Structure 1
Amino acid sequence: MERLVKINRNLIKFAVVGLNHGKKHAESIMKIKGCELIATCTRTQVLGQNRLGNINNYTSYDELIRCEEIDALIISSPHHYTLDIFKKACVNIKYIFLEKPVSNTVKDIEEIKKLADKYNVKVLIGHHRRFSSAIEKLKAIVESKELGDLVAFNCLWCLKKHTGYYQ
């Protein structure tokens, strides 16, 4: 319970695991008043340093999770790592954002739910297309009123992912 109260102070300290899609989250955190990005985790130290400047970057999520200063964690790694990271993080970190897809099995998602309940973790699932360049372009067109005042919108979204995604 102590960890839940701690978050109410003026500065929320975030960490991000995975800087592919997670880079957008990290950059957003760095722009929000009252939020501080204190750590990231990528497979290579150099990659983390080059992407976000002088933020503490870990190459092991086990090591990052041991950092007691973290209030909120964003897990934006490949989905087959999510459960393992969540299992280790939920003991000490009580606010966890999971990038979609959360997992490729219902069993893993059920396990995440059980752990969240057991450790009183607040979990938010991200919408993985939110930062897509196609969605951002569409949003800009709608906001510009280039199409006039929209009263309805119907869309079919079809994309082919790279082969590695399905491995």
Structure 2
Amino acid sequence: MKRILVVGGGLIGIRHMQAVQAHAGCRMVGLVDPDMTIQADVPRFVTMADVTDPVDGVIIATPTPLHAPHGLEAAGRGWHMLIEKPVAASLEGAKELESVLRRKNIRSLVGHHRRYHALVQQLKSSLADGVIGDVVNVSVLWCMRKPDAYFEENWRSVSGSPIMINLVHDIDILRFVIGEISEITALRGQSRRGGARIESGAIALTFENGAVGSVTFSDITPSPWGFEAGTGENPNIGTTHQDMMWITGTKGAISFPSMTLWKGTDWGRAAEPVALSPALNEKTPLEAQLDHFLNVIDGAKPLIDVADAIVTLGLAEALETQLASQTSNSNETKCP
């Protein structure tokens, strides 16, 4: 039985807590959060310093600016950790954490839980098997409308860009299923909620294997297109089962999450769909991630540790920097 502590009682922290409580291989040490009004039938602690019971692993699900400080505090206690994405608010903080973990021989896992999704695993293996030949390009849509309450009286109203909260997942999936990204650039859309926060934009990418791609994103537009809506993996987001990623190659194309495979020769004859049965999750990705975390505590190789997550963070941070330098009404990139 692994003794697990959860730090952070927000939306994702409560989901982690519920997964730990339901897992036969875990014992819930408690929930750390200064907000004692959070409803949770577990031992409560205001800070990690208040925890005196033994802990085998800690799940850090606090706001992004606290990831690195809380990771360092947990490392000081000798606790192996699953830390939510993005791994830190800055590359500097992430690298400091990685250095400490390596020096103290503390194992880590980062919460890019989509890597555990059966469909994502199937997509990765299908591309690796060459079902569409060499990957040439990819297009991704993530277009949701977050409710106004999501931004009220909290850190998201200023720094709640969808890059670090949402697109960091899509960037990580692209790295995972297609390959490392060598170049990335973006254009910012106009802000519609009346603040300075980044809300929408378009991203262009180049991969080390020669493929190129684009990502269009917005958290101000109600639409059926996005990973969560398409796969139904987030209970807080409505499910549409619509595709949100399209990948083309030298021998065909595939769309996700329907896993519709298309084969063809040239434009003189229409490409035809080929039967491909979508993989089904035996467990939710969050539950599968918890299974893996317990194994990582015992010494298994992590699917994505802090060192690997730093690469994804670096790409997301580069995008944030580019977009922050552009005003929502900038004329700098307009055609003459």
Q: Give the TM-score, by structure 2 length.
A: 0.36
CA shift in 2, pair 1:16/1:112, >3 Å: same
For residues 160 and 92 of structure 1, the distance between their equivalents in structure 2, rounded to whole angstroms, comes to: 40
Q: Is the 8 A contact 1:39 1:58 kept in 2?
A: yes
For residues 21 and 34 of structure 2, the distance between their equivalents in structure 1, rounded to whole angstroms, comes to: 21
> 1:44-83, aligned counterparts within 5 Å?
44-47=35-38, 50=39, 52-53=40-41, 55-64=42-51, 67-83=52-68
Moved more, 93-102 or 107-116: 93-102
One-letter amino acid of the structure 2 residue matched with residue 46 of structure 1:
T
For residues 100 and 17 of structure 2, the distance between their equivalents in structure 1, rounded to whole angstroms, comes to: 25
> 1:27-106, aligned counterparts within 5 Å?
27-47=18-38, 50=39, 52-53=40-41, 55-64=42-51, 67-106=52-91
Larger of the two Rg values belongs to structure: 2
One-letter amino acid of the structure 1 residue matched with residue 62 of structure 2:
S
One-letter amino acid of the structure 1 residue matched with residue 20 of structure 2:
I
One-letter amino acid of the structure 1 residue matched with residue 36 of structure 2:
Q
User: Deviations along 1:57-85, whole A, 9 cap, x unmatched?
Assistant: 11123323xx2411100000011112221
The structure where strand makes up a greater share of residues is 2
Q: Give the TM-score, by structure 1 length.
A: 0.69
Partner of 1:12: 2
CA shift in 2, pair 1:110/1:160, >3 Å: farther
One-letter amino acid of the structure 2 residue matched with residue 82 of structure 1:
H
For residues 9 and 56 of structure 2, the distance between their equivalents in structure 1, rounded to whole angstroms, comes to: 19
Q: Is the 8 A contact 1:17 1:41 kept in 2?
A: yes
Partner SS for 1:89: helix
For residues 61 and 92 of structure 1, the distance between their equivalents in structure 2, rounded to whole angstroms, comes to: 9
For residues 108 and 160 of structure 1, the distance between their equivalents in structure 2, rounded to whole angstroms, comes to: 30
One-letter amino acid of the structure 1 residue matched with residue 72 of structure 2:
K
Q: Is the 8 A contact 2:79 2:106 kept in 1?
A: yes
Structure 2 stretches lacking a partner, 5+ long? 118-130, 133-138, 160-336
One-letter amino acid of the structure 1 residue matched with residue 23 of structure 2:
I
Indicate yes or no: 2:92 matched with 1:107: yes
One-letter amino acid of the structure 1 residue matched with residue 27 of structure 2:
E
The structure where helix makes up a greater share of residues is 1
Shift of 1:38: 1.2
Q: Is the 8 A contact 2:68 2:89 kept in 1?
A: no
Cα RMSD after superposing both structures: 2.8
Q: Is the 8 A contact 2:32 2:48 kept in 1?
A: yes
| Total equivalences in the alignment | 134
For residues 12 and 77 of structure 1, the distance between their equivalents in structure 2, rounded to whole angstroms, comes to: 21
Structure 1 stretches lacking a partner, 5+ long? 1-10, 136-150
Partner of 2:261: none
Partner SS for 1:100: coil
For residues 113 and 89 of structure 2, the distance between their equivalents in structure 1, rounded to whole angstroms, comes to: 15
One-letter amino acid of the structure 2 residue matched with residue 25 of structure 1:
H
